[in-house]
Structure formats: structure tokens, C-alpha cells
Amino acid sequence: IDSEGTGPIEGLPVITAKGHAWDAGVVTKKATVKAAGAKTFTCSVCKETKTEAIAKNNFTVKAKKVTLKFAKLSRKKQTIKRAKAITVKNAKGKVTYKLAKKNKSFTVAKNGKITVKKGLKKGTYKVKIKVTAAGTEEYAPLTKTVTVKIVVK
């Protein structure tokens, strides 16, 4: 630009800014519940890079108390739907469930259904269940263990 600010200086080439053309980015660090992740983008025009944060994973799992009737349980096994026993929020990727350790009185399906064997006596039982979120390209896989209280009355 000339001294008057009106146009280019005669004899010098005019350079036009092309702007950035950012790619889709590459995850350079997966986010966990303890730390944010990072994704790096590269400009196809000038090869400049920029990094953006991936928010921390706020995956939460909470167990509930479930009450079953002894009279029904004495006749046949009972199935508890996952939503009645466990609340899962902000899971990244497919969620699966399994018993934390073997138990003769209970089984847990991959979809979270809990089966209580027929003939279980009255009382309060604690069932430890591992809940795993498989993760995604941006989020690391996570496993949390919760204890579901099952009360037989």
C-alpha cells in the first residue's frame, strides 16, 4: 500500500491473502475423565497447525436400590432392567456390563439386565457390576464399577 493508503506501490507485486483451509484434524490425545484431549488441524495452504481441546469425559454411572418380592422369587427367576438398577450418563461409545466377580445368585447380560436366580432368600444383596464405555476416536475407553443393592422382601 502506498504512503497515502490508497493502493499498491507501483512496481511491487500484489500478494493476495488466501486464508486458511483447515483439514478435518487428527486426535493427538484422547480425552479421559481426568484430562482433556487434543485435536490438531493443519492448513492445506500454508501448513500452519492449530490445536483445539477435546472436553474431559464426564462419564458417570450410578447404582440404584432395587426391591424384589420374595413370593415371586420363590417361584421363578426375576429379571431387572438396566434402567431400574443403573443410571449411565455421557457414555462415549458402546456401553457393556458384566459382574465384577462371579456370583451364583446373579448374572448380568452385556446390555445390563440383571437376572436374580429363583429361590434367593430374604435379605439385602450387593452386586458389583463393571460398566464399560468402549470410547470413540476422541475419547479413551473407561470402566467404572458400581454396587447395586438388591433387597428381597
The number of angstroms, rounded, from the C-alpha of 18 to the middle of its chain's C-alpha atoms is: 39
Cβ within 8 Å of residue 41, ≥6 positions away: 22, 23, 24, 25, 26, 49, 50, 51, 52
Q: Of 19, 17, 16, 23, which is closest to residue 50 (Cα–Cα)?
A: 23
Contact 119, 34 (CB under 8 A): no
Identify which of 52, 51, 53 has the alpha carbon closest to the alpha carbon of residue 35: 53
pLDDT(81) > 90: yes
Residue 2: pLDDT over 60: no
pLDDT tens digits for range 82-137: 999 999 999 999 999 999 999 999 999 999 999 999 989 999 999 999 999 999 99
Residue 15 has pLDDT above 80, yes or no: no
| Whether the predicted pLDDT of 52 surpasses 70 | yes
